[in-house]
Amino acid sequence: METGGNPPRRDGSGSEVRRFRRGRRLRETPAVRALVRETALSAAHLVLPLFAVPGARREEPVSSMPGVRRLSPDLILRECEKAAALGVGGALLFGVPDVKTGDASGAWDMAGPVPEAIRLIKRDLPGFPVITDVCLCEYTENGHCGFIRDGRIDNDLTLPALARSALAHAGAGADFVAPSDMMDGRVGCLRDALDASGFAAVGILSYAVKYASAFYGPFREAAGSAPSSGDRKSHQMDPANLREAVLEARSDLEEGADMLMVKPAMWYLDVVRTLRDRFDEPIACYNVSGEYAAVKAAAANGWLDERRTVLEALLSMRRAGADLLITYHALDAAGWLRAEGKA
């Protein structure tokens, strides 16, 4: 007996027709799919990583990362001009000095390639956001993220050097500094140094959750930052751990981080979602060199459609909850999105 609600639907013979959801009604045409799409991806979500080397009119291809080059500051500016024209959200700069030293002094050299690139960008593109990587691995002779004492990385000895590097970048005009070293307490150290030196407006995008991943190999060629001995498992996170990611993120926010990063991206989207569900601050994820190289290699062999694969991967990062997508695909992806009317 019917007690309320809609009566059952019946066919011409009077037999009851089973109801089922017709999800295809919301997928029938491109316009309908766009109307109900849950997740948006635009060029403004993308951040372009760039490797700065000293000199002028200098470019050096990175063999393991097709399409990626180490560039002198004048050519860094040209890439940022392209990015800005396509609506890309910003750039992340890494320094690759010609000479590495035991004291990592190139990390805070105001005449170094990163400060010089920042000055050029801010001169010609003052509104284009510039983020700078803060770490010692590109600058030390041994390729480690911190200073070695008694065979181990000395966390607290490293902190003042990281602060000097951040101050050099802030002094050149950086909008955000991004400590990637994974030393304990480095966010608070940088925040104190920036505030005390008149750079309270400079933000911190912390590599809060950086795993000891196998996917960094091509980057280490690009930055010349492979450790001469040992590994980075004492300070980068164990890929098996998720709850620890929440602890690291909370600690960095308490120390003054403005934004959080998860690195790598594609194999760690559960981590991105976990942080998104717990914190309101902006979250970045880094689509790292090994992820980039894998897609490039598969596309070069005809195994994947590069455009579709890249846009799907980036959309998955947005769906997981990331606000900023740091990716070497940024220029290509922005161009594809513009062609689709989504720039």
Known catalytic residues? 210, 263
* Cα–Cα distance list, 302 to 229, 276, 290, 299 (Å): 37, 35, 18, 5
Distance CA(200)–CA(178), nearest Å, equals 15
Distance CA(289)–CA(267), nearest Å, equals 13
Report the candidate in 247, 273, 264 with the shortest Cα–Cα distance to residue 325. Answer: 264
Distance CA(339)–CA(342), nearest Å, equals 7
* Cα–Cα distance list, 270 to 213, 278, 284, 320 (Å): 15, 13, 13, 7
E runs forming strands in 256-303: 259-263, 283-287
Q: Retrieve residue 22's tokens.
A: 């017709």
Q: Which residues pair with 209 in a beta bridge?
A: 262
Q: Retrieve residue 174's tokens.
A: 């950086």
Please check whether residue 145 is in contact with residue 181, taking contact to mean a CB–CB distance below 8 angstroms. Answer: yes
Collect all residues with Cβ–Cβ distance below 8 Å to 25 and sequence separation of at least 6. Answer: 32
**Residue in the block written with tokens 């990362």:** 65
Please check whether residue 258 is in contact with residue 281, taking contact to mean a CB–CB distance below 8 angstroms. Answer: yes
- Give the number of residues written for the chain: 343
Please check whether residue 295 is in contact with residue 287, taking contact to mean a CB–CB distance below 8 angstroms. Answer: no
Encoded amino acid at 38, one letter: E
